[in-house]
Amino acid sequence: MPPHPVPLAFVFRSRSKEEKAPAAQAPVTDSNQPRDPQAPKGRPTPKRAMAQSQRRSVTNTPTSRKEAAKRQRDERRAQMAKQREALASGDERFLPARDKGPVRKFARDFVDSRFCVAEFFLPIAVIILVMSIVQIPQLQNISLLLWLVVIVLIVVDSVATAFRLKKRLKERFPGENTKGAVAYALMRTLQMRRLRLPKPQVKRGERP
C-alpha cells in the first residue's frame, strides 16, 4: 500500500513557523535610545556619557552665593596652608610670588650663609633701650653712643652686602632680570636667622 503523500501546504506552513520563532525570541530594544556601534558592550554611548558628565558638573557648581563664598574661603585656606608649609620647607612650587625664582633663592642663600650686623639689631636695640631708661647719666650717654655705632655698622655692612650680592648675581645670572633682588636680600638681613621665612636652606659659611 503506497505511503500517504504529505500536503505541500503543511510543509510550507511548518517552515514559516520555524523561521518566525527566532525572531519572536529576539530581545526587544528601545528605539528611543539607539546604541552607538562604536560604544563598547556594557558601557554607555558617547552621548549618554556626555550627559552624565554634564550632570556631574552641574552638581559640582555652587547653587547660591553663600556656597560660592564658602568654597572660595576653603580654597584660600588650603592655598595659605600650602604656602606656610612651603615657607617652612622651601618648596618652590607653593612659595609666594615675591619668594619664587632662582634669583630670589640665591639672594636668600647669600644672606643666610653669612653673619649680618642687621640681624642683631633687635636684641641690641632692647639692651640700648633698657640702658637709656635707667636714671644713670653715664649709662644714658653710653646708650646714645651705642645707637650711633650700631647704625653706622648696619649701614656699612648693608652697603658691602649689596655690592657683593650685585657682583655675584651678575656672575651667576648674566643677562637675566635681577631687579629687586638686592633690596629683597637687605630686608632679609633685618630678620633674625631663626625667624626668617622661607627658612634658611644653607649653613653659615657655606658658599651658595
- The whole-number average pLDDT for the span 32-54 is 55
Q: What is the pLDDT of residues 131-186, one digit of tens each?
A: 989 888 998 899 999 999 999 999 999 999 999 999 999 999 998 999 999 999 99
Looking at the domain assignment, is residue 19 inside a domain?
no
> Could you tell me if 170 and 161 are in contact, meaning their C-beta atoms sit under 8 angstroms apart?
no
* In the chain, % of residues over pLDDT 90: 45
SS3 state at 113: coil
Cβ-count burial of 202 within 10 angstroms (0-12 exposed, 13-18 middle, 19+ buried)?
middle
DSSP 8-state code for residue 42: T
Contact of 185 with 110, CB cutoff 8 Å? yes
Q: 201 CB contacts (<8 Å, ≥6 apart)?
A: 90, 108, 109, 112
Q: Any idea which of 9-23, 90-104, 180-194 has the lowest mean pLDDT?
A: 9-23
The three cell numbers of residue 151 are 647704625
**Does 142 map to a domain?**
yes
In the block, residue with C-alpha cell 647669600: 110
The number of beta carbons lying within 10 Å of the beta carbon of residue 122 is 12
Is 154 inside any structural domain? yes
How many domains in the chain? 1
* Global pTM value: 0.64
Q: Which of 119, 104, 120, 117 is nearest to 208 (CA)?
A: 104
Could you tell me the residue range of the domain that residue 144 belongs to? 101-107+116-195
- pLDDT confidence of residue 123: 92
pLDDT at 24 over 90: no
Q: Which amino acid is at 106?
A: F
Q: Is residue 7 part of a domain?
A: no
pLDDT > 80? residue 67: yes
Q: What is the mean pLDDT of residues 56-60?
A: 52
Identify the residue with better confidence: 108 or 23.
Answer: 108
Residue 160, domain member (yes or no): yes
Higher-scoring residue by pLDDT: 36, 151: 151
